[in-house]
Amino acid sequence: MRRHWLKYIRAALAVAVLATALAAFVDFRGLVPAPLAHALAAVQFVPAAVALATGASLTVAAVAIVVATLAFGRVYCSVLCPLGLLQDAVARLAGWVRRRPLLLRHARPATWVRQGFLWATVAGIAAGWAGLTLALIDPYSIFGRFGSMLFRPVVTVVNNWFVGPVNAAGSDLLYRVLPQWAAVGALALPAAVALLIAVLAARRGRLYCNTVCPVGTLLGLFSGIGAWRLEIDQDRCRKCGDCLRVCKAQCIDLRTGTIDSSRCVACYNCISACDELGIHHRFKWTRATAKPASGDPEQPNQHKPAAPPAAKAVALLGEAPAISGTSLRPETRNPKPETAPRGGDSSRRAFITSTTAALTAASGVGALLIAQIAPKGAADESLVDDSQPPEPPSPYGRGTISPPGSAGIARFLDRCTACQLCVSACPTHVLQPAFLEYGWAGIMKPRLDFNQSFCNFECTRCADVCPDGAILPLPLADKKLTRLGIAHIDYNLCIVKANGTDCAACSEHCPTQAVNTTPYGNNLRLPGMHPELCIGCGACEYACPVRPTRAITIHAHAVHSRAESKVEAPATAPNSGDEFPF
């Protein structure tokens, strides 16, 4: 039982993390508390690194992940990364469909491919495309797009199927919700990536994590030089291959009796599967010493069992041993006792080389993040720019509006990783994934779509859940004065003037009284504007009944500014005499 406890603890934590992440992204009823959703997002590597590099948050989660990886390996990949956990679930489901477990033989590391994706990421950040690059490679954001853009609409549809029977049974627990499907262009990329990752997970386990994912590659550099690394005890190992049957990373090489720590995702399945207790952690930051030969009469081998049949070993390893009929142990196939005393020097050289490579990559990515993102967020002390003219135009188009707390479109695009957590958390569903409204740099990043809904005057939920500082938290009083854009009225479309029909929907729904009405014609009311009071929340545009183009629309501001607050006139003081004042 003792050999199972690491696996059980890891599996329990992984199930809890995956369930919480799925609930946060498929939540269409606002049941998941914002602090819980934010807490899980804040401990993800890329969002935490962006928040730390830009000063948006003092969290040290990214540093803690690196330290934990240096100590125990890629525990982040096996416990905290929801995309990796989703791949494990897909692989397990595929095994049930096949009715047999997936046997993954040892595979050589695709070193050039792994490093190619990592340095392509570095190049993208260095070229000034940090926002787009991180959005495309961040495993948490990729999972978030699966949950929000693919899973949530499906869950909503399933919910609607059961509304009728549940209500007929006398319960009002369920109610119909309109599914929020993203635009086809924005939906195409996450759908294609989801299909690719699902196929790879079903056929090759964690191949995506160990080949494509730059976060996995970066953490693998630290894991490869970790303090406590899994090691095969050559005196206990009998080459049965049980560890190969459960290894999802294809990092165990029984021919050499080694485990590739840079690809090991710390699932601990191999420890649990080994009946000989032949796989365990060993502290590696010590000077290597020569090991006595296994045949030394002064060091009898009490645990060495008989070798397994050669046919079984050949089937598990995928190729024939070097000499037929002999043991597969490297020390008996090709003994080289003269190289043992030099193990300390080679280990130290490998440690220094690997450490230098890992620190260079990490420091390079961090420096680029600070250089490319932090300067553009220098105005974080004030999330609105009062020095701008009253109506700074947006170069991205009239209706391309970034969320309140983002300070402006350029800053938002540089920092947002398009995880879609704010889209899932928005109670009015006004936040929708963009396609090309922001341009290529803003694909899949949230924008306010007033055709769908409006920004709730009393809500700050998007800022409450944002993990990377793209949407910084605003006090509700400041949020109510943050101007995202300004309303414009086209009187040629307004039904009051065009059709002689009374309306006033825009003024009735305006929370700041920026839109008012004045008498017009025969007992009609014509809308008018107080631009200094408008915050661009979109309530007026959403309420306008004119179709297909609304008569009142919000024109986006490239940089958010501050609106004025309406001051109510003081009430008239009552008379001081005895006579009743009215």
Domain end: 200, 228, 256, which one?
A: 228
Give dist(CA 225, CA 350) in Å, integer: 9
| 265 inside domain | no
Residue ranges in the chain modelled with pLDDT below 70: 1-3, 58, 287-398, 567-582
| 107 inside domain | yes
pLDDT for position 309: 44
| 463 inside domain | yes
Burial (CB < 10 A; 0-12, 13-18, 19+), residue 543, is: buried
| 569 inside domain | no
Domain end: 228, 253, 272, which one?
A: 228
pLDDT for position 320: 37
pLDDT for position 185: 86
| 250 inside domain | no
| 55 inside domain | yes
Q: Which domain range does residue 156 map to?
A: 2-228
Q: Report CA 364 to chain centroid distance, whole Å.
A: 22
| 276 inside domain | no
pLDDT for position 99: 80
Phi, psi of 525 (to 5 degrees): -125, 120
Per the listing, tokens 């609304």 go with 550
Single out the residue of 286, 282, 288, 284 nearest to residue 344, CA to CA.
288
361 and 287 Cβ atoms separated by less than 8 Å? no
**410 CB contacts (<8 Å, ≥6 apart)?**
376, 558
pLDDT for position 375: 52
Q: What angle do CA 533, 537, 542 make, to 5 degrees?
A: 120
pLDDT for position 149: 95
| 77 inside domain | yes
Give dist(CA 369, CA 411) in Å, integer: 13
The domain that contains 450 carries what CATH number?
3.30.70.20
- How many distinct structural domains can be found in the chain? 2
